[in-house]
């Protein structure tokens, strides 16, 4: 298991400084935000990565539109934005691009008794992901579905929901598990991780209070050590609020994760 940090949590005026600090603190990678200007930063990131041995673990969202918008233009905007980020991820050697299917409630109408809005959304999402799966495989990357809790989205709240969608969508679609969301949605985190392990390629690490792991009541040691025993070789990325001064908090957190996972 490897550990990365979302770029906004790392002090530094540029990638050179951020990657240098991550190396010093014992992290393996960085998770980038998929903002539009990332396209102009790819060469700079590759240079910093090569200099310090810090890999890009993942690209997190950042695209415009919505895969399940009512407007075809907004759906197309999302699909094309994800394709751009798949290309960037492949060039940077990242595991893939994190995608949240939709936020909030349904945007398309309920057509009962033919189909409910959720049934229609699921069909639509799978068709879009089939296209994206092919694109991901073509460039050597993955679409990574992130399940989020019921208060942020009505669709794919549990990791098993995302897993079933990924299985239908194709080999280029995988899933991730976020400890903050799992704290709300999952009855047994270890059993959840076991059930989706064949497509599990990423983790987001945050405690129940959105603080850094170890500052709330979520059990990290059990699940992380279990994944390590299974040979999980991907990243766990810090996506959280730091509890204090950033450098000191990141140093403290690396020790916590080392103890919890045995890595």
Q: State pLDDT tens for residues 21-74.
A: 999 999 999 999 999 999 999 999 999 999 999 999 999 999 999 999 999 999
In tens, the pLDDT along 118-165 reads 999 999 999 999 999 999 999 999 999 999 999 999 999 999 999 999
CA pair distance 121, 67, nearest whole angstrom: 9
Helix H or strand E segment including 173? strand 173-178
Domain total for the chain? 1
Residue 11 has pLDDT above 90, yes or no: yes
CA pair distance 55, 32, nearest whole angstrom: 11
> What mean pLDDT do residues 230-251 have?
98
Q: Mark out the alpha helices in 140-169 (DSSP H runs).
A: 159-169
CA pair distance 180, 47, nearest whole angstrom: 33
Q: What percent of the chain has pLDDT over 70?
A: 100
The pTM of the full predicted model, rounded to 2 decimals, is 0.97
In tens, the pLDDT along 166-190 reads 999 999 999 999 999 999 999 999 9
Residue 263 has pLDDT above 90, yes or no: no
CA pair distance 134, 160, nearest whole angstrom: 22
The burial of 197, by beta-carbon neighbours within 10 Å (0-12 exposed, 13-18 middle, 19 or more buried), is given as middle
Provide the domain limits for residue 224: 2-261
Tokens of 246: 């950033």
Residue 212 has pLDDT above 90, yes or no: yes
What are the Cα distances from residue 83, in Å, to 102, 145, 171, 200, 248? 17, 14, 16, 21, 37
CATH of the domain at 81: 3.20.20.150
């Amino acid at each position: 298991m490897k550990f990365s940090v979302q770029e906004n949590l790392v002090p530094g005026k540029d990638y050179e400084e951020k990657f240098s600090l991550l190396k010093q603190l014992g992290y393996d990678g960085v998770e980038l935000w998929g903002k539009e200007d990332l396209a102009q930063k790819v060469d700079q990131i590759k240079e910093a990565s090569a200099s310090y041995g810090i890999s890009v673990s993942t690209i997190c969202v950042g695209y415009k539109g919505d895969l399940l918008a009512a407007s075809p233009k907004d759906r197309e905007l999302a699909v094309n934005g994800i394709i751009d980020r798949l290309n960037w991820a492949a060039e940077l050697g990242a595991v893939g691009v994190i995608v949240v299917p939709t936020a909030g409630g349904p945007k398309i109408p309920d057509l009962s008794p033919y189909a409910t809005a959720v049934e229609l959304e699921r069909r639509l999402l799978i068709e879009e992901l089939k296209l994206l799966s092919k694109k991901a495989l073509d460039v050597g990357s993955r679409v990574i579905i992130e399940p989020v809790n019921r208060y942020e989205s009505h669709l794919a709240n549990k990791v098993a929901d995302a897993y079933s969608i990924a299985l239908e969508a194709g080999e280029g679609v995988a899933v991730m598990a976020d400890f903050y969301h799992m704290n709300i949605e999952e009855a047994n985190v270890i059993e959840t991780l076991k059930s989706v392990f064949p497509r599990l390629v990423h983790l987001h690490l945050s405690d129940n209070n959105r603080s850094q792991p170890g500052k709330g009541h979520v059990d990290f040691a059990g699940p992380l050590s279990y994944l390590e025993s299974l040979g999980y070789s991907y990243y766990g990325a810090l996506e959280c609020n730091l509890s204090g001064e950033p450098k000191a908090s990141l140093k403290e957190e690396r020790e916590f994760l080392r103890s919890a996972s045995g890595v």
